[in-house]
Structure 1
């Protein structure tokens, strides 16, 4: 079982020792269901979800309560730690988002009018989910749907603007980028703000579609990952790192250690920063959690793509 640091008691959700049992769950007839490997017998409070090879894992802080799903990607734990959103892909390359209740094993597909949508992100209250969706004009957009599978909307659906890496700015606004601009949308789908990324963070960073931006809870800081610095010989490219921008002073401060490659970043609504990073020789990824002051802990010694529940 993957080791989780005991130092996280002050950062993650406190959990009591719980019991797990193993149970195999068969996929449905068309194969479009993640395979549930382990089933919890008790209530609530998963703290972390992450990728472990070809499966995703949700775990309590002491690792005595775990659920794992084979054949799924993009784990997104709900703020209360009770549900897990994830992406499934079929043989034709179609992607869809599913939601699992981690106690009763129910799994359901989000009803979205697209055959390519992925990367769920929960709102702070757990009532809505934002995600990336490919529209019929071959443009990436932001989809939003309620957690009860109702009220689906595609934001800014008619424009030619690509919107990568959607994240919640607050309960009423969502941000996304097109490599050059950081956009803010309201939940009606209206584009309400556009900021040039180079004006925000400077021109020395390279942004890709997999990079993400997050506002702090008070709206005064912008947390992001991007490529910058020297080319690492082992990677044959610049490493991605985590940075924090103070919007008032315009100062950008690196958060992840120099020489670490950080391809994935997520931030909870209570300002805890989760990321997965690799160090030389870049063959294994670990998971870390940090606060806005840069205090960082290792939480999982082998894993990637972490998301955390709120305290």
Structure 2
């Protein structure tokens, strides 16, 4: 009986120790990449790196790893065990990982040394095999996912494309029809709302800025072909992230050098400060 009790207690202890930790947000600060738990009201510094993207269930973090020789690759951290691993991307120059909503894939930017162009690759976490899905375009940047995890949205500065995971173009939009600012840069990600009828993005606008035109966040209605500005004038906005019916972005007052994270409704109302002194926000979605 004593042996059975000891075994039961041991199993319970192991279960407690192995309790999966889940966080709600990931972002960059000067000290490194941090994750934040709403329930625990705690911020945890997890690693050095850039482009943090928390997994849909909040248990893992994907990010860009810089090596001492200048190479870039994609790393993953298990937020429960803190174990780190590198994805086999078959490239020494890739960055900006983004999880699919179902947590099965990661899309990222990858440079093709032979063709000297930027492409979008996708890795299936189950088999760890990367494949480029934008071979039909010379350049593509800044991937984002459809809500059903079956397609990737990307852009080449002139057009916005929707690729399926087999590399087929299933939709295409002219940037000049969608973007109401000065055009997209290679770092501007275009997001699709869950029903796929709205596009959320940030771009430079023709307004006075601190050291050039500031950027602003917009939502474009595909059916009505109308845009609503989400970030207020007098603020800059970059790095949009969609969480339900709300948009998160890095921003701040134009004349300030401090970056914060704000949240605003898809109607451009109810702007609120979410986190101070940080950037490159991502949020769990499950």
TM-score range, shorter chain: 0.7 to 0.9
Offset, 1:192? 2.7
- CA displacement, residues 190-236 of structure 1 (integer Å, 9 cap, x when unaligned): 2233221102235x42311111111100111111100113132x22x
1:293 partnered with 2:270: no
Q: Structure 1 stretches of 5 or more lacking a match?
A: 1-39
- Aligned pair count reads 267
Distance 1:149 1:229 in 2: 46
- CA displacement, residues 41-75 of structure 1 (integer Å, 9 cap, x when unaligned): 96433111000014000010256433313421110
Q: Provide TM-score, normalisation by structure 2.
A: 0.87
Distance 1:129 1:185 in 2: 14
State the structure with bigger RCO (CA 8 A, min sep 6), 1 or 2.
Answer: 1
Equivalent position of 2:116 in the other structure: 138
| CA distance 1:178–1:143, change in 2 (3 Å) | same
- CA displacement, residues 10-53 of structure 1 (integer Å, 9 cap, x when unaligned): xxxxxxxxxxxxxxxxxxxxxxxxxxxxxx99643311100001
| CA distance 1:281–1:130, change in 2 (3 Å) | same
Q: Provide TM-score, normalisation by structure 1.
A: 0.80
Structure 1: 4+ residue segments shifted above 3 A: 40-43, 62-66
Which segment is superposed worse, 92-101 or 188-197? 188-197
Q: 1:140-289 residue pairs with structure 2 within 5 A? A: 140-148=118-126, 150-157=128-135, 159-170=136-147, 171-202=149-180, 204-232=181-209, 234-235=210-211, 237-268=212-243, 270-289=244-263
Distance 1:133 1:150 in 2: 16
1:309 partnered with 2:284: yes
CA contact (8 A) 2:228 2:267 kept: no
- CA displacement, residues 242-290 of structure 1 (integer Å, 9 cap, x when unaligned): 001111111111001111111322224x343211102143210111122
CA contact (8 A) 2:230 2:265 kept: no
CA contact (8 A) 2:217 2:238 kept: no
Offset, 1:92? 2.0
| CA distance 1:70–1:133, change in 2 (3 Å) | same
- CA displacement, residues 126-181 of structure 1 (integer Å, 9 cap, x when unaligned): 11111111113111111101234523211133x45211111012321111111111
Q: Structure 2 stretches of 5 or more lacking a match?
A: 1-16
Q: 1:31-42 residue pairs with structure 2 within 5 A? A: none
CA radius of gyration, larger in: 2
CA contact (8 A) 1:54 1:72 kept: no
Equivalent position of 2:9 in the other structure: none
Q: 1:101-116 residue pairs with structure 2 within 5 A? A: 101-116=78-93
Distance 2:265 2:55 in 1: 20
Distance 1:54 1:187 in 2: 36
